[in-house]
Structure 1
Amino acid sequence: MQIRPFLLALTLAFSGAQTAFAKEPARQVAVEPELSAIDDYGSAAEQLVDQALEYLGVRYRFGGTSPETGLDCSGLVLNVFRNAIGFDLPRTAAEMSRMGDKIGRQDLKPGDLVFFNTMRRTFSHVGIYLGDGKFVHAPSSGGRVRIEAISSSYWSKRFNGARRLVDDSSDTATDGLGIIR
């Protein structure tokens, strides 16, 4: 048995239980027995997903950039990218939305950034796509970093787009870390 798919399945199951206690309407995340999409991603994306899962349960704090004191959505993403692959991102979701390659919802791969309109302005919220229709994010005041389904009614209505900042495939021009420049 491979450990990483097992741990991810366990994490996804746990996050579904956490979601039931959130302020927003409950959004159960179904755990798929096969995590084939997650098994196939490359090294930089794998590092991003692994690092993002390390932050599950960290409390939300507006403007937060430290896991010790709390993270907001962009604080989570910039910590993940810095600690996983040594890449510093801009501070806000809106600034992050102008980086990398624009991609469609149907083309999402683990490690992609997903953006939402949660404050009546585009690109006001950001998360990291994990695969199998799920993303990790720091939700809002009173919440904790958690995993949710993009297809839930709340997130689906607010989806603004996605960007690919890393690409492990050989057909994309990247630097040595897989960062799209």
Structure 2
Amino acid sequence: MKVIIGAVAGVIGLILLTVIGIAVLVVDDDASAAAATNGGGGLQGVPAEFRKWILQADADCKEPAMTPALLAAQLYQESKFMTSVAEATSSVGAQGPAQFMPGTWATWGRDADGNGRNSPWDIGDAVIAQGRMMCSLLRQAAASAYPGGPRALALAGYNAGWGRVQQYRGVPPQSFANGETYNYVRLILSTMPRFQGPALAPISFSGSGTGPDALRKASTHLGIKYSYGGGGPAGPSTGFCDGVNGYLGGRCDATRTVGFDCSSLVQYAYWPKVKLPRTAAAQYGATSDHPVSRTDLKPGDLLFWSNSNGYIYHVALYAGDGNVLHAPRTGKRVELVPLASAMPDRDYRGATRP
């Protein structure tokens, strides 16, 4: 917000429309709305510590023009996902990864991450505030009937204030503020495809309850990297290497990767309703008195695999329709895959219901 942006080349899909002598930015919003409907929930190329909050901010907003890629592209333009005071303070005093001015933060900022403080420097607080503000602006834009499309109008409102959008009855022209807002909008809309990942894999489950709730919670981290020893009830974190596990290409990958391993993802998913222990073996021990046959699996059930000496080495969440959601191993990401191919079938130990 309020970051000076240099002029850029023209962007495909953007056209100029002259209205009462003013050049107004117009977007082919039918195309972008279709893109949002077809796989708009996908997200890629963002730091792991931002992913959860971007997906949550998107889920909290019911405006059809909102997508995770829109929020990600905006964050990239605002701060390049930087979070330090030195790197994420603008020349005019905007603060944090979402670049909130203090007065604007007073309206939109909340303690979204529950750490006891309300700060534009906290990633969770900043991204959720960004999402709430953008959602409100998208709603105003859709109701305004101004040319340009709701995303362009909302971005302009975020950068320059909705009053400027009303003043120009659209995105402010290049003559306004040396083209700052005009180019801000163009750059973000053109950068969105970079962050648009495959559509989030559908999680098939019915009803409500502890298991489906845990599955839904875990699914917000689809695509996050595996980190041996990383993660816990509070979310993803870096892990450790133990001489055998956590290495990739001869280097310790876990200490530089923020993510989950198989059991920490399960622990996170069920916490705090069910406080499962940390490791797969301990989780099996804590739930083995509630076994479930393979023909009676329900969403959220825990599935376990063991090696030849009986040691439980892997746990996953049953996701319905013969699929599991799990963090497989170093070098991979949290994924939704068929149960039959998740781990060697000969190692399948059984399932439990926490």
* TM-score bucket of the superposed structures, by smaller chain: 0.5 to 0.7
- Answering whether residue 298 of structure 2 is matched by residue 109 of structure 1, we say yes
| Alignment map for 1:52-63 (pairs within 5 Å) | 52-63=218-229
2:229 maps to amino acid:
G
* Residue 271 of structure 2 corresponds to residue 91 of structure 1: no
How is 1:83-162 mapped onto 2 (pairs within 5 angstroms)?
86-100=273-287, 101-117=290-306, 121-152=310-341, 154-162=343-351
TM-score, structure 2 as length reference: 0.34
Separation of aligned partners in 2, 1:107 and 1:117:
20
Superposition deviation, residue 90 in structure 1:
0.6
Question: 2:324, 2:338 within 8 Å by CA — same for their partners in 1?
Answer: yes
Letter in 2 for 1:94: A
Query: How big is each residue's C-alpha offset from its partner over 1:4-45, in whole Å with a ceiling of 9 and x where there is no partner?
Result: xxxxxx5337xxxxxxxxxxxxxxxxxxxxxxx945333322
TM-score (norm 1): 0.64
Contact 1:115 1:125 in 2 (8 A): yes
CA contact (8 A) 1:105 1:162 kept: yes
Q: 1:174: which partner in 2? A: none
SS for the counterpart of 1:142 is coil
Query: What code does the residue aligned with 2:269 have?
Result: V
Alpha-carbon distance between aligned partners in 1 of 2:216 and 2:338, rounded to the nearest angstrom = 18
- How far 1:65 moved relative to its partner? 1.6
Shift of 1:103: 1.1
Q: Which is richer in helix?
A: 2
Between structure 1 and structure 2, the one with the greater Rg is 2
Paired with 1:133 and 1:39, the residues of 2 have a C-alpha distance of 11
Corresponding residue for 2:265? 76
The aligned amino acid for 2:278 is R
* 1:102/1:163 contact within 8 Å kept: yes
Gaps of 5+ in 1: 1-9, 14-36, 166-181
AA aligned to 2:214 is L
Find the partner of 1:46 among 176, 188, 212: 212
Q: Give the stretch that moved more between structures: 129-138 or 117-126.
A: 117-126
Q: Say if 1:118 and 1:125, in contact at 8 Å, map to a contact too.
A: no
Higher RCO (CA-CA < 8 Å; seq separation 6+): 1
- Please report the RMSD computed on the Cα atoms of aligned residues, expressed in angstroms: 2.3
Q: Which runs of 5+ in 2 are unaligned?
A: 1-198, 239-258
Q: CA deviation at 1:117?
A: 2.4
User: Percent identity, aligned pairs only?
Assistant: 34
Amino acid at match of 1:72: D
Shift of residue 87 of structure 1?
2.2
Which consecutive segments of 4 or more residues in structure 1 shift more than 6 A?
A: none
How many residue pairs were aligned?
Answer: 131
